[in-house]
C-alpha cells in the first residue's frame, strides 16, 4: 500500500464548507465517522510511533492549505499557508493556546509559554519592556520578562556559552576517534548547563555529573509528558498508574529544587539589594563575576511578591528550562546532521569561522558571532527543514475568515510550521538543503509569514536571539575543531515530533579532529 493510500485510509479528512450556514455542520465528508468522545482521532490509533510523524505530515501536505479534523466535538482546523498564519498570529485577540499544551501545565503552570489571555499579557510585559502595556495581566508578564532578553544581558551570557562549549569539546575529544556515536545526549547536557546557569544562576554541571538529580528529573518528566502525548490516558486513570506516581514524585522534586533556588537567590539579592538594583557595581555579588540570571531579573521586578508571586516565578523558571534547552538541542543536532551530509557546505562554514577566529578555538564576543553570516544562513535553513516546534496551536477567541471559510470561535487552529516550510510553491525543491535561500537577495520576495520557526506576532519566541547566539557559539566551535560525517541521510532519517522534532535514533555522527592547532 502506498503511503498516500495508507494515510487516506487511516486519517479522516473532513474538509468543510463553512460558507454554508457559516457553521461546520457540513464538515464531515466521506465514509469516516466522527465519534462522540474521540472525534476523528481514532484514525490515528495504532500508527507506530516511528511512523506517526511521516504519516501525519504526508496527510497535512496532501490536504494543504486548509483542512478540518475533530477532537471530540471540537473542530481542529489545520493551516499551511502564509496568509492564514498571518491572520491567526498577527492578531492580539488570538493568543490563547490550544489543547496540546495541557500536558505541560503541571510542570510549567501558567508560565509564559503555556499561559493564556490575561496572565500571558502580564508575564510577557514583565519580560518585554516598554511595549504596549494596557494594564492587562498577560502584557505585564511579557513586559517583565522582555528586558531579560536585552542585548546587554545576552552579551553577559556569552561567557557561559563559551565555558560550556569548552567543556563540551573536552568531552567530545574522547569521541573523535572516527567511530560513529550519538551526539544528541552530549548536546542536551551542554544546553541544560547553559540554560540552568543563565535562567537560574545555578551551575548544575550536567556534562560533568550525569547523576545530577535535577538533570535526571528534567529527563524523566520530559519522557513522561512525551509518553502521554503519544498515548493519551485520562488523568483519573493516569494518576493511579506507576508512571503517574513517578510523574508526581518527579514533579515534586523539580518544584522543590526551583523553590530552593528561588529562596536562595532571593536571600542573596536581599543581601546585595542596593548594588543590584542600582546596577552600579561590577563587583562580585554571588561569589563570582557579576552576571544576573533571568531569575534575578524577575526577582527584582517582582517587588517582593507584590507583582509576581513565588509560584509564578517558579513557573517562569521552569518554562525557561523547558523551552530553552530541548529546542536548541534539537536544532544544533539537525545542523550537525545536515552539515555532515553536505561536506561542501560544511567547508564553507569552516572557512568563514576560521577566517573570523583565526587561531582561536571558540568565539568570545557577540560581534564575532554577528560576522558569521553564512553560518546564520545554515542555521536558518536547518530551522526551515527541521523546525524544533513543527506544529503550534491556538484556540480561537472570535470567529475568523480564512480564505473562503468562516471558522467559528470554538475551533482550535493548528499551524503546521513544518509543512509550510516544505511548500514547493514557496521553496522550490523544498527538501533540498540550500542555505543560499536565506541570502538577503533571495528573501526579498518571500511572504513574511512563509518562514516562522519562532512563530510570529505577539506570542513569538522570546528566546530567539538567545538561541541564535548559543547555537552559533557551539556550532562554530565544533566545526572549527572537527570534520563531521553523518551516518544517516535526510532521505532515510526517521523523525518524531515529540515535545520537539527530533531524530528517532538520535544524531549518529563521526568526528575527525581537524589538523589545525588548538
Q: Is 142 in the site for ligand HEM (CB under 6 A)?
A: yes
Residues 257-316 that bind ligand HEM (CB under 6 A): none
Helices and strands in the chain, H and E counts = 22, 11
Query: Looking at 71-79, 365-373, 450-458, 506-514, which segment touches ligand HEM (CB under 6 A)?
Result: 450-458
Measured from the CB atom, the residue of 28 and 388 that comes closer to ligand HEM is 388
Residue of closest CB approach to ligand HEM: 463
Residue 461 is labelled as binding a ligand: yes
- State the binding string over 29-68 for ligand HEM (x if CB under 6 A, else -): ----------------------------------------
Per the listing, cell 516562522 goes with 452
Per the listing, cell 510549567 goes with 108
Angle ∠(101,105,111) on CA atoms, nearest 5: 95
Of residues 490, 210, 199, the one with CA closest to residue 336: 490
Measured from the CB atom, the residue of 7 and 392 that comes closer to ligand HEM is 392
**Least spacing, CB of residue 158 vs ligand HEM, in Å:** 14
**Least spacing, CB of residue 483 vs ligand HEM, in Å:** 24
Contacts 24+ apart (CB under 8 A), 259-263: 259/310, 259/314, 261/200, 261/201, 261/202, 261/295, 261/317, 262/295, 262/299, 262/310, 262/313, 262/314, 262/317
Q: Which of 65, 75, 82, 453 binds ligand HEM (CB under 6 A)?
A: 453
Neighbours of 197 (CB within 10 A): 21
- State the binding string over 375-404 for ligand HEM (x if CB under 6 A, else -): -------------xx--x------------
Phi first, then psi: give them for residue 512, nearest 5 degrees: -120, 125
Size of the site for ligand HEM (CB under 6 A): 25
Q: What distance in Å separates the CA atoms of residue 308 and residue 295, rounded to the nearest whole number?
A: 12
Measured from the CB atom, the residue of 27 and 369 that comes closer to ligand HEM is 369
Q: Is 324 in the site for ligand HEM (CB under 6 A)?
A: yes
Give me the helices (H) in 342-416, please: 343-357, 366-371, 373-385
Q: Which of 188, 212, 250, 331 binds ligand HEM (CB under 6 A)?
A: 331
Measured from the CB atom, the residue of 301 and 461 that comes closer to ligand HEM is 461
Measured from the CB atom, the residue of 39 and 387 that comes closer to ligand HEM is 387
b/e 261-293 (16+ beta carbons within 10 angstroms → b)? bbeebbebbeebeeebeeeeeeeebbeeebbbb
**Least spacing, CB of residue 430 vs ligand HEM, in Å:** 19
Question: Grid coordinates representing 238?
Answer: 493516569
Pairing label, strands 66-71, 74-79: antiparallel
Report which secondary-structure segment, H or E, holds 259.
Answer: helix 242-271
Measured from the CB atom, the residue of 18 and 462 that comes closer to ligand HEM is 462
Query: Looking at 61-69, 326-334, 361-369, 406-414, which segment touches ligand HEM (CB under 6 A)?
Result: 326-334
Q: What distance in Å separates the CA atoms of residue 259 and residue 269, rounded to the nearest whole number?
A: 15
Contact 59, 7 (CB under 8 A): yes
Residues 483-512 that bind ligand HEM (CB under 6 A): none
Residues 455-484 that bind ligand HEM (CB under 6 A): 455, 459, 461-463, 466-467
Measured from the CB atom, the residue of 14 and 332 that comes closer to ligand HEM is 332
Residues 91-120 that bind ligand HEM (CB under 6 A): 97, 112-113, 120
The sheet carrying 412-416 orders its strands as 66-71, 74-79, 412-416, 391-395
Per the listing, cell 547536557 goes with 189
Q: Is 192 in the site for ligand HEM (CB under 6 A)?
A: no
- State the binding string over 340-379 for ligand HEM (x if CB under 6 A, else -): ----------------------------------------
Sign of the C-alpha dihedral computed for residues 217, 223, 227 and 230 taken in this order: positive
Of residues 517, 512, 165, the one with CA closest to residue 343: 512
Measured from the CB atom, the residue of 17 and 397 that comes closer to ligand HEM is 397
Report which secondary-structure segment, H or E, holds 412.
Answer: strand 412-416
Q: Which of 427, 438, 454, 469 binds ligand HEM (CB under 6 A)?
A: 454
Measured from the CB atom, the residue of 217 and 328 that comes closer to ligand HEM is 328
Measured from the CB atom, the residue of 275 and 393 that comes closer to ligand HEM is 393
**Least spacing, CB of residue 389 vs ligand HEM, in Å:** 4
Binding-site sequence positions: 461
- Contact residues: ligand HEM, CB under 6 A: 97, 112-113, 120, 124, 142, 319-320, 323-324, 327-328, 331, 388-389, 392, 453-455, 459, 461-463, 466-467
Amino acid at each position: 500500500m502506498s503511503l498516500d493510500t495508507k494515510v487516506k485510509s487511516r486519517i479522516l479528512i473532513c474538509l468543510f464548507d463553512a460558507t454554508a450556514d457559516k457553521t461546520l455542520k457540513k464538515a464531515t465528508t466521506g465514509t469516516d465517522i466522527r465519534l462522540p468522545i474521540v472525534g476523528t482521532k481514532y484514525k490515528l490509533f495504532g500508527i507506530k510511533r516511528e511512523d506517526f510523524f511521516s504519516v501525519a505530515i504526508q496527510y497535512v501536505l496532501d490536504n494543504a492549505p486548509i483542512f478540518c479534523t475533530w477532537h471530540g466535538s471540537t473542530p481542529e482546523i489545520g493551516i499551511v499557508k502564509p496568509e492564514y498564519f498571518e491572520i491567526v498570529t498577527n492578531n492580539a485577540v488570538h493568543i490563547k493556546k490550544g489543547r496540546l499544551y495541557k500536558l505541560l501545565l503541571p510542570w510549567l503552570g501558567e508560565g509564559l509559554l503555556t499561559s493564556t489571555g490575561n496572565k500571558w499579557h502580564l508575564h510577557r510585559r514583565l519580560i518585554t519592556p516598554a511595549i504596549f502595556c494596557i494594564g492587562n495581566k498577560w502584557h505585564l508578564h511579557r513586559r517583565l520578562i522582555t528586558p531579560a532578553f536585552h542585548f546587554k544581558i545576552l552579551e553577559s551570557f556569552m561567557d557561559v556559552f563559551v565555558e560550556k562549549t569548552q567543556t563540551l569539546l573536552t568531552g567530545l575529544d574522547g569521541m573523535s576517534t572516527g567511530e560513529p556515536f550519538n551526539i544528541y545526549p552530549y548536546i542536551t547536557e551542554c544546553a541544560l548547563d547553559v540554560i540552568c546557569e543563565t535562567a537560574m544562576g545555578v551551575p548544575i554541571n550536567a556534562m560533568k555529573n550525569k547523576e545530577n538529580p535535577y538533570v535526571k528529573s528534567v529527563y524523566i518528566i520530559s519522557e513522561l509528558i512525551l509518553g502521554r502525548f503519544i498515548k493519551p490516558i485520562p488523568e483519573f486513570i493516569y494518576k493511579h498508574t506507576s508512571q503517574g506516581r513517578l510523574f508526581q514524585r518527579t514533579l515534586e522534586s523539580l518544584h522543590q529544587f526551583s523553590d530552593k533556588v528561588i529562596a536562595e537567590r532571593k536571600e542573596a539579592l536581599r543581601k546585595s539589594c542596593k548594588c543590584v538594583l542600582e546596577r552600579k557595581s561590577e563587583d562580585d555579588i554571588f561569589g563570582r563575576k557579576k552576571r544576573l540570571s533571568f531569575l534575578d531579573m524577575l526577582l527584582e521586578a517582582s517587588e517582593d511578591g507584590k507583582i509576581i508571586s513565588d509560584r509564578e516565578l517558579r513557573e517562569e523558571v521552569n518554562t525557561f528550562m523547558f523551552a530553552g534547552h530541548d529546542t536548541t538541542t534539537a536544532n544544533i543536532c539537525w545542523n550537525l546532521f545536515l552539515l555532515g551530509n553536505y561536506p561542501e557546505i560544511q567547508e564553507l562554514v569552516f572557512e568563514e569561522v576560521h577566517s573570523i577566529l583565526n587561531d582561536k578555538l571558540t568565539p568570545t564576543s557577540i560581534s564575532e558571532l554577528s560576522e558569521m553570516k553564512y553560518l546564520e544562513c545554515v542555521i536558518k535553513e536547518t530551522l526551515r527543514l527541521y523546525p524544533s516546534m513543527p506544529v503550534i496551536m491556538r484556540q480561537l477567541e472570535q470567529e475568523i475568515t480564512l480564505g473562503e471559510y468562516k471558522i467559528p470561535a470554538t475551533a482550535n487552529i493548528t499551524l503546521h510550521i513544518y509543512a509550510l516550510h516544505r511548500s514547493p510553491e514557496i521553496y522550490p525543491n523544498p527538501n533540498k538543503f540550500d542555505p543560499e535561500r536565506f541570502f538577503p537577495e533571495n528573501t526579498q520576495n518571500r511572504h513574511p509569514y512563509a518562514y516562522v520557526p519562532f512563530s510570529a506576532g505577539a506570542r513569538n519566541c522570546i528566546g530567539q536571539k538567545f538561541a541564535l547566539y548559543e547555537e552559533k557559539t557551539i556550532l562554530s566551535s565544533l566545526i572549527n575543531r572537527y570534520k563531521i560525517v553523518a551516518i544517516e541521510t535526510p532521505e532515510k532519517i526517521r523523525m518524531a515530533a515529540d515535545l520537539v522534532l527530533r531524530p528517532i535514533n538520535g544524531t549518529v555522527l563521526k568526528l575527525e579532529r581537524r589538523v589545525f592547532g588548538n
